[in-house]
Amino acid sequence: MPTAAQLISVIRFHLHELKARNAHHDFEHLCRHLTRLRVYSNILPATGPVSAGGDGGRDFETFSAFVLPHIGAGSEFSKRSSGSRKVAFGCSLQEEIERKIQSDVVTIVNTGAVDEIVYFCEANLAISKRRQLQDRASAHKNVVLQIFDGEAIAELLGDRDTFWIAQEYLRTPGELFPQSAGDPDFYKESLKRWKDRTPMPFSQAGLVEIRCGLRWATTHDDARQDALFWMTRLERYIEADTPRVMRRVAIYELAVASLLAKGEMTSKLGLMDDYYSDLEEWVRIADLQDAATLLLYSFGAWSTGRLAIEPERLVHWRSRLVDCLDANIT
């Protein structure tokens, strides 16, 4: 079984391979998700003609976030929020990284006010070079500069709650993550069994077992690295040939798991639209309870910037659910 140090070495190698694949966008997505979990939570992705310099050197940046009463000062989002401070982020796979960082810092500060710049680079950067770049940034409009090089990124991706990022964007196998001796036998056995099985979209038993595995992985730190594996298995149940009742269960579980394991629900928005498309046909107590629970998760994700959705659509879902409750619960 690989050790933690060996896992970090493998992740470091996969990071280096991004350069050979010219996968700058994958690196940018990786850095953005890592930022939400380790640096700042209030992140706004850059949009527009990035290749043409339309982003002003900023691959992503923060939005002003204040503590909202319904979120609370003790929430994970609030703890990692930069508040009203303006932070810009840069990412690069270039080898000549010192000159690149210096150039990007100048571009960023010249295209809008910024209090801090956080830079991610695949190349390793000696601490003396990092300090020099930080001193130059501080001297230029008093900007704080943080730099995470390849070694630092690899170590951060080796944690349980961030390993899914390496799995998704670096294709790092989940089996490489060191297992904890504290995992219950039933979970270990289920995980081992499903490693070599293909889910059948009409099997209720398979759906239940995969759902149990996914819920365990998203709620237990020592199994968090398995969440992406269970999600890929559960995706088999959202195919067209799956009975509708099972498809709706799978959509619910995937949407919630995406928020708990990956910190975002936007990628599941299309599935959530599907889930609420025939809400009025599913009026059992369990169905209405799941619809209400998913709606609560959705409102929370939207309010913390983890679900990019028009608030009017959320309100529409809620109105339809209220009508269902009024019509079916006496």
How do the domains of the chain map onto residue ranges? 4-170, 181-328
Flag the least confident range among 45-49, 56-60, 287-291: 45-49
The dihedrals phi and psi of 96, each to the nearest 5 degrees, come to -80, 70
Distance CA 176, CA 10 (A): 9
Q: Read off the tokens for 204.
A: 């209720």
Would you say residue 149 has pLDDT above 90? Answer: yes
pLDDT for residue 180 is more than 80: no
Mean of the pLDDT values across residues 303-312? Answer: 93
Q: CA angle, 170 as apex, 166 and 173 as ends, to 5°?
A: 70
pLDDT in tens, 89-127: 999 999 999 999 999 999 999 988 899 999 999 999 999
Please check the confidence at residue 318 and state whether its pLDDT lies above 50: yes
What was the pLDDT predicted at 271?
97
pLDDT value at residue 254: 98
215 — pLDDT class (breaks 50, 70, 90)? very high
- In this prediction, residues 241-269 reach a mean pLDDT of 95
Strands 116-121 and 87-92: parallel
Q: Is 60 exposed, middle or buried (0-12, 13-18, 19+ CB in 10 A)?
A: buried
The domain defined by 4-170 folds into Trna Endonuclease; Chain: A, domain 1 (3.40.1350)
Q: What share of the chain in percent tops pLDDT 70? A: 92
Residue 48 has pLDDT above 70, yes or no: no
What is the predicted pLDDT for the residue at 168?
A: 87
Angstrom distance (rounded) from CA 84 to CA 79: 13
Q: How confident is residue 53, by pLDDT bands cut at 50, 70 and 90?
A: very low
